[in-house]
Amino acid sequence: MKGKIPTLGMTLFSLLLTAGVTTARGQSAMSERMAATAMKTLWRDAGRNETGMPSKWTYDHGVVLKGIEGVWHATGDRKYFDYIKQSMDHYVNADGTIRTYNLDDYNLDNINNGRILLLLYKVTRQEKYMKAAALLRKQLETQPRTSDGGFWHKKIYPSQMWLDGLYMAEPFYAEYAAAFHEESAFDDIAKQFILMELHSRDPRTGLLYHGWDESKKQRWANQTTGRSPNSWGRAMGWYAMALVDALDQFPRHHPQRAALMAILKRLATAVEKYQDKASGLWYQVLDKGGANSNYLEASASCMFVYALAKAARQGYLPASYLAVARKGYQEITTRFIETAAGGGVNLNGTVSVAGLGGNPYRDGSYEYYLSEKVVTNDPKGVGALLLASVEMETAARKRSAKSH
């Protein structure tokens, strides 16, 4: 670590901390209504978790908190920041250790929440958050890698890179590198995206397969390419979000920035191509929209909306992609959203989980992806909806301002 996070930009954080008000505009925005449900009920499972927090340090908690951070920035209401802080304080001890986290697991999923730790340090300047973030950064220093330098998804999945892992590790890695002036780290961050695309992209469809096994020992791995057999919607959603979030931190003149922008454009082209033309949504298995039992899935659709809308706003993609995102978002709000008690909303239509290997064994087949349960208010879907809603609400405000 070469230095503490600079105070540049802290005025904004301070103002947001003290604002404590939400802009009056009639009915609350979708992001606020989803946040209300998340903050009240998400991890309170029939009284088994009265704290309202997950029982252990888990990546999907961080996805939800990242969405709530967006609502905080949009509204200035301190209750959102307080909820974020309370959530992390449940795990982060005074000495910076993290309850239930084990570095030796070498699980990329455990890195994602580090983004929230960096936020808390920037705002509060409490050393425990910086120490906890440094602990996660330390894991990346010794994370097992493939022969060409790609992070293993987990130690228990040797020689495997999964699309999911790019979201779990790279946005935090990039934000940490920017904050602590680790310029050389951006070479490694770029490498992870480049290798993942190199090993998992289908040149015919432009889509990325869920995983790649360098050893080709897994039953799900193609014996020639090492790739898993299908393009799962949420896996590509993780990769898309990771790319646009990491680009926010990437030095403008870094020699690999252009390569990442090219990857994003190829990815966006494929995502638009496989958007369901009637609904504007995306399927559980992306390129098999007409196949038996395939269905339009909420979390992947929210992730693509977020990634495309943000990329258009940031100038990473042409502005035309905002219309692609808008079509998807409109259908999300009508197809998957239902009103909940107390002014909140529920999100339907999210597949609970999907993976590769393990026990019981997940073979990556089409039938496997269609066998997992579809649930209401899954945290991964809720977090993605929060991110997408904040992005689309921002775009709507800008459009409204221009028309007046």
**Which tokens belong to 175?**
């934000």
| Structure confidence at residue 343 (pLDDT) | 87
| Structure confidence at residue 27 (pLDDT) | 66
| Structure confidence at residue 16 (pLDDT) | 52
Peptide bond into 360 cis (omega under 30): yes
| Structure confidence at residue 1 (pLDDT) | 45
Query: Known catalytic residues?
Result: 164
How many CB atoms are located within 10 Å of the residue 161 CB? Answer: 26
Tell me the C-alpha to C-alpha distance, in Å, between residue 207 and each of 237, 263, 271.
Answer: 11, 11, 8
Would you say the pTM of this structure is higher than 0.85? yes
| Structure confidence at residue 45 (pLDDT) | 60
| Structure confidence at residue 13 (pLDDT) | 53
Residues of the chain predicted below pLDDT 70: 1-27, 45-48, 404
Q: Please give the CATH topology (third level) of the domain spanning 10-403.
A: Glycosyltransferase (1.50.10)
| Structure confidence at residue 22 (pLDDT) | 41
Amino acid making up residue 58: T
| Structure confidence at residue 51 (pLDDT) | 79
| Structure confidence at residue 3 (pLDDT) | 46
| Structure confidence at residue 48 (pLDDT) | 61
Report the candidate in 105, 86, 87, 101 with the shortest Cα–Cα distance to residue 131: 101
Alpha-carbon distance of 395 to 401, in angstroms, equals 10
| Structure confidence at residue 44 (pLDDT) | 77
| Structure confidence at residue 149 (pLDDT) | 98
